[in-house]
A and B are shown apart, each in its own frame.
Chain A
Amino acid sequence: MAIERDLTRALGPERVLHTRDALLAWECDGFTVLKSRPRAVVLPESTTEVQAVLRLLHAAAVPFVPRGAGTCLSGGPTAGADAVVVDCSRMRRVLHVSTVDRIATVQPGVVNLDLTAAVSDHDLHYAPDPSSQSVCTIGGNLAENSGGPHCFKYGMTTDHVLAATVVCPDGSLAHLGDPAGPRSPHGLDVLGVFCGSEGTFGIATEITVRLCRNPPEVRTLLASFASMSSACRAVGDIVAAGLVPAALEILDQATIRAVEASVYRAGYPENAAAVLLVELDGPHEVVGEEAAEITAFFRKNGALQSEEATTPDERKRLWKGRKGAFGAMGRIDTDLYVLDGVVPRTRLEEALTKITEIGRRHGVTLSNVFHAGDGNLHPNISFDGRDPDATARTIAAGHEILQLCVELGGSITGEHGVGGEKLDHVPLMFDDDDLEVMARVRRAFDPDGRCNPGKVLPQRHACAEVAKWPQMTAEVLGEGAAEGGQ
């Protein structure tokens, strides 16, 4: 308990939690299949405090796991029983905003949407918008290189981060990138490597991001279709015509029904097999022309009906359903496995047909809501996590779906990360040499392998002495699940 005592001395008793029962609350993130109680949780509030914490942990050779709001969907911030969670939630200050340079420097615990709210008076916003944007933090977004509906046009987190102050696993400081941006042509793009490292390289404590000007006009279109195929074909047509809408989202019938039963009711037609949500932004004339073109594509592909939201309130309503979709799945079953595979846009239709087939074969309840523009699928499997058989079938179906995505020329994750969830799937995409290169980069940041150990890289390539994740997965899922997952 020496480390707990030292941490308490550094931060005070209220910001160090180590009562075993209380730690249950940090047992998992949005990927509830993986559960593990950390050794302790600390809540630092500044770069200096994070340094102090990491120095103590370094001296005691204790592993740690950075955490934001815990909305990750791949078990990234779930810590092993020997690890301390460094919870950045309290680092919630916007440190600096420059409206002239259109940049902001924030602490990692600043909530994505709070940053936009803080700069909205200047007609600016922070563009990447994960569905969880009202909860998730900029630090977590940086760690996961998060996406969101508007990334189709505006790019992922990596396109919006200019600089970061990082506390390395030994407690030392590193300044990556250049707040003056654009991302440096001089030297290696180390910040680019850090972004999306899923909390395995260190903890970013001050993050400088780009802010975007609010578009002069925004229009949101919604079309419903009698089949998923025709919705996918409409997306194909829009993209093939060279249009770049701000967002292109599809929700299937199961998702529509769950959303419409919830407080996030958006008025999506419940008899439709799929709805397509398209957002256009830009100058008035351009948006008008594009809207006409897109409406023509809706008609061409046999849309049942379409509507257009022009007022902020109407737009908010149409988006509300999309943003609340994951949570609304709780209406279907007790647990939710959100997959995150990517396929080339041209193969969306084929992918969805095959995914439905995989779901049927494994007897799981599937629903789909996805970023159609990016080909980033989110097949959601609703299941009862208390039933080992149902859990095993869910994991097995998930594995097959990700395998399918890779076969179709896509990838296993578009924005949720590998975390602890997709370790078994990483070899589908990378061979031993690839993985060894990644492991070497990781060791450059974290030579002792104490920073979020056991995540992202399968065990053989991570530091062997601390990577206990696969065993833990097997324990949690039971043997049947492990077989199913093979």
Chain B
Amino acid sequence: MAPSSDGPPASYLRTLDCVHCGLCLPHCPTHQVLRIEADSPRGRIYLMRALAEGRVDDAEAIRPFLDRCLDCRACETACPSGVRYGEILEDTRATLERARPKRGVAAWLTRTLLWHVVARQRRLRFLFWWLRVFEVLGLQRLATALRLLPAHVATLAPPVPPARERRPLRTGLHRPAEGTEVRGRVALFTGCVMEPLFGRVNRATLDLLLANGFEVDVVAAQRCCGALLVHAGQPDRARQLAAANVRAFRDADVVINNAAGCGCALKEYGHLLGTDEGRRFAAKCRDICEFLAHEGLTATPRPFHGRLVYDDPCHLCHGQGVRSAPRELLRQVPGVELVEAEHSADCCGSAGIYNLLQPELAAAIGERKAAEIRACAPAAIATGNPGCMMQIDSHMHRSGHSVPVRHPVEFLLPPP
């Protein structure tokens, strides 16, 4: 759909695909917790359709229900009619935000941080430098104790790793070690928060690609993918980032990413930009697991002895339809016992910055997820999205069952 400034006609037409059968209800995490029709995909589609038809008197009255949506897309996987819920939601949020930007400190802070900090890598690095200083000095605990910082933010925020782990990857072309047969060249999308929070995952991704014979181009001019802006109803700003990324990766044949949320957003640039260029870019994006499962591993991973639970990130399984690839790869780890938790494809409640905006609901959903994982008594957990890694880690920790939560690529690395 081409972006339009006067309402969302294409996404309105998509609401008409829903025949109100309700098969989405048991797949919606918020409906499972709340059991409120307006907090189900069927109910939200109905409200968004009514809004587009001009039957809603005060849009603010229905906004809380739309805000509570995780945008996890589990309903899309369940929908027999093929409703593209994510597009409807994102367009509707954009329309509402344009008509009346959300008020309040939290909304202002979200807008400011997303655009002026998260989307600008240097400022983000600077922020994390300060956070690290705060942490080292114990100021974070002090701030929580003095109630300057809400408790849920403090418990959810993971410890900021030391500087050497936050160091960005060297930009430019990386070549496999002498003697490794070169199978091709890919470009690597490094993401915004992955770098300062999980720099080790980016390094593991790079090393894994190199070990398996791929030259890796870490493109310098890349920017944040814009997913969080799209979710927050600011597609115009996201479009600026998307256009920059399309330009930055112009020469790449394959663009690899390792964060499900980013990957899903990158693959939807066609819809976001509404241009052929955007569609071409989207077609060359691959999740790291999707790519390697297709190409095949040539380097045997380091052994891991124990039970490993793989948890599906929503934007990988529902958003990109990638379910078997990570499992296929993880099963190749020598000694591993890969176990399936109940409802592995259900959202963990992280959903971008949802756990900061809707702490109570996110906690309820996160606790369910942790309980289902605990039932498997795993030695470690693998999941391919930074938000999910933090949320699952935080809830496992809270329930006193801390086990390492890692990105799949960290299990796939060959011995050094």
Which A positions have Cβ atoms within 8 angstroms of B? 17, 19-22, 24-30, 32, 41, 43, 69-71, 87, 89-90, 92, 109, 111, 113, 132, 134-136, 259, 261-264, 324-331, 334-336
Distance of A27 Cα from B49 Cα, bound (Å) = 13
Residue among A25, A43, A330 facing the most chain B CB atoms (10 A cut-off): A25
- Encoded as 1 (CB less than 8 Å from any A CB) or 0, chain B from 25 to 61 comes to 1100000000111100011101100100001111101
User: Is B36's CB under 8 angstroms from A89's CB?
Assistant: yes
Contacts of A328 in B (CB 8 A): 80-81
Give a binary string over B1-45; 1 marks a CB under 8 Å from any A CB, 0 the rest. Answer: 000000000000000111111110110000000011110001110
- Chain B positions within 8 Å of A19 at CB level: 61
Given known contacts A263-B80, A329-B81, A330-B83, is B22 in contact with A132 (CB within 8 Å)? yes
1/0 per position for B55-91, CB-CB distance to A under 8 A?
Answer: 1111101100100000000000111111100000000
Partner of A43 from B22, B36, B59, B81 at Cβ < 8 Å: B36
A25 interface neighbour in B16, B26, B35, B47, Cβ under 8 Å? B47
Can you list 12 contacts pairing A with B, beta carbon distance less than 8 Å? A20-B61, A21-B59, A25-B65, A26-B37, A32-B20, A89-B36, A132-B21, A263-B78, A263-B79, A264-B80, A330-B82, A331-B81
Q: Inside 8 A of A327's CB, which chain B residues have their CB?
A: 19, 21, 23, 79-81
Residues from chain B with a CB closer than 8 A to the CB of A113 are: 26
Q: Do the beta carbons of B22 and A135 come within 8 Å of each other?
A: yes
- Among A29, A264, A334, residue most surrounded by chain B Cβ atoms (within 10 Å): A334
Across-interface contacts of B25 in A (CB, < 8 A): 69, 135
Nearest residue (CB) in A for B45 is A25
Chain A residues with CB under 8 A of B20: 28-30, 32, 70
Nearest 4 interchain pairs by C-beta: A330-B81, A327-B80, A327-B21, A25-B43
Which residues of the other chain, A, contact B83 by a CB distance below 8 angstroms?
Answer: 330
Q: Is there contact, CB below 8 Å, between B80 and A21?
A: no
B22 x A30 contact (CB < 8 A): yes
Q: Please tell me if the beta carbons of B21 and A71 are within 8 angstroms of each other in the complex.
A: yes
C-alpha gap A21/B56 in the complex (Å):
6
| A132 surroundings in chain B (CB, below 8 A) | 21-23
Q: Which of A24, A87, A109 has the most CB of B within 10 A?
A: A24
Docked complex Cα distance between A331 and B43 (Å): 19
Say which residue of B18, B61, B65 sits within 8 Å of A330 (CB atoms).
Answer: B18
Q: Which of B18, B23, B26, B42 contacts A324 (CB 8 A)?
A: B23
Specify the chain B residue showing the minimal Cβ separation from A325.
Answer: B80
Residues B81 and A25 in contact, CB atoms below 8 Å apart: no
Neighbouring A residues of B35 by C-beta, 8 Å: 43, 89-90, 92, 109
Q: Is the CB of B16 within 8 A of A70?
A: no
Distance, CA A324 to CA B62, complexed state (A): 29
Q: From residue B314, how far is it (CB to closest CB) to chain A in Å? A: 16
Q: For A326, what are the chain B residues with a Cβ–Cβ distance below 8 Å?
A: 19, 21, 80
Do B46 and A25 have beta carbons less than 8 Å apart?
yes
Q: Nearest CB to that of A321 among chain B residues?
A: B80
Nearest CB on B from A363, distance (A): 20
B residues with CB within 8 A of A: 16-23, 25-26, 35-38, 42-44, 46-47, 50, 55-59, 61-62, 65, 77-83
Asked whether A69 lies within 8 Å of B36 as measured between CB atoms, the reply is no
Q: CA of A259 to CA of B55 in the docked complex: distance in angstroms?
A: 32
B19 touches A87 (CB 8 A): no
B80 near A24 with CB under 8 A, answer no
Within the complex, the shortest CB–CB distance from A16 to chain B, in Å, comes to 11
Across the two chains, which residue of chain B brings its CB closest to A328?
B80
Residue of A nearest to B56 (CB): A21
Give the shortest distance, in Å, between B33 (CB) and chain A (any CB): 10
Residues of A within 8 A of B46 (CB): 24-25, 27
Interchain CA distance A29-B46 in the complex, whole Å: 11
Q: How far is the CB of B282 from chain A (nearest CB, A)?
A: 21
Which residues on A sit within 8 Å (CB–CB) of B17?
330-331, 334
Residues from chain B with a CB closer than 8 A to the CB of A324 are 23, 80
Q: A25-B47, A134-B23 are in contact. List 14 more A-B contacts (CB 8 A).
A: A22-B62, A24-B56, A25-B38, A32-B20, A111-B26, A135-B23, A135-B26, A136-B22, A263-B79, A264-B80, A328-B81, A329-B81, A330-B19, A330-B81
Distance (whole angstroms) from the CB of B301 to the closest CB of chain A: 29
B37 to chain A, nearest CB (A): 5
In the complex, A306 Cα to B140 Cα: how many Å? 68
**Chain A residue contacts of B42, Cβ below 8 A:** 70
- The CA-CA distance from A325 to B44 in the complex, in Å, is 22
Chain A, residue nearest B43 (CB): A25
**B16 to chain A: closest residue by CB:** A334
Q: Which residues of A contact B16 (CB under 8 A)?
A: 334
Q: Across the interface, do A87 and B37 meet the contact criterion of CB distance under 8 Å?
A: yes
What B residues does A30 contact at CB under 8 A? 19-22
A22 touches B61 (CB 8 A): yes
How many angstroms from the CA of A385 to the CA of B38 in the assembled complex? 21
From the candidates A24, A70, A87, A262, name the one contacting B22 in the complex (CB within 8 A).
A70
B37, closest chain A residue (CB):
A25
User: A71 to B79, Cβ gap below 8 A?
Assistant: no
B56/A329 in contact, CB under 8 A: no
Residues of A contacting B78 in the complex (Cβ-Cβ under 8 angstroms): 263
Which residue in B26, B62, B77 is a CB contact (below 8 Å) of A21? B62
Q: Smallest CB-CB separation from A320: which chain B residue? A: B80
**A117 shortest CB reach to chain B, Å:** 10
Bound: A452/B38 CA distance, A: 21
Cα-based distance from A328 to B78 in the complex (angstroms): 11
A130 to B188 Cα, complex, angstroms: 49
Least Cβ–Cβ distance between A294 and chain B, in angstroms: 28
Cα of A113 to Cα of B47 in the assembled complex, Å: 27
- Assuming the contacts A327-B23, A330-B19, asked whether A262 and B80 have C-beta atoms less than 8 A apart, the reply is yes
**List of B residues within 8 angstroms of A334 by Cβ:** 16-17, 19
**A424 CB to closest chain B CB, in angstroms?**
22
Contact A69:B62 (CB < 8 A) given known A89-B35, A329-B81, A334-B17 = no
B22 near A69 with CB under 8 A, answer yes
A335 in contact with B57 (CB, 8 Å): no
User: B79–A24 contact, CB under 8 A?
Assistant: no
Task: Determine whether the beta carbon of A262 is less than 8 Å from that of B43.
Answer: no
Q: Which residues of B contact A135 (CB under 8 A)?
A: 22-23, 25-26
**A24-B19 in contact (CB<8A):** no
Distance (whole angstroms) from the CB of B379 to the closest CB of chain A: 26
Q: What CA separation (Å) do A342 and B58 show in the bound complex?
A: 45
Choose from A17, A136, A261, A335 the contact partner of B38 (Cβ within 8 Å).
Answer: A17
Supposing A28-B20, A87-B37 touch, asked if A330 and B26 sit within 8 A by C-beta, the answer is no
Q: Report chain A residues within 8 Å CB of B56.
A: 21, 24
Q: Which residue of B lies closest to A329 (CB)?
A: B19
Closest to A19 in B: B61
Q: Would you call B61 and A21 a contact (CB within 8 A)?
A: yes
Bound form: Cα–Cα A43–B37 in Å: 11
Distance between Cα atoms of A335 and B56 in the complex (Å):
21
Q: In the complex, are the beta carbons of B38 and A330 less than 8 A apart? A: no
Q: How far is the CB of A141 from chain B (nearest CB, A)?
A: 14
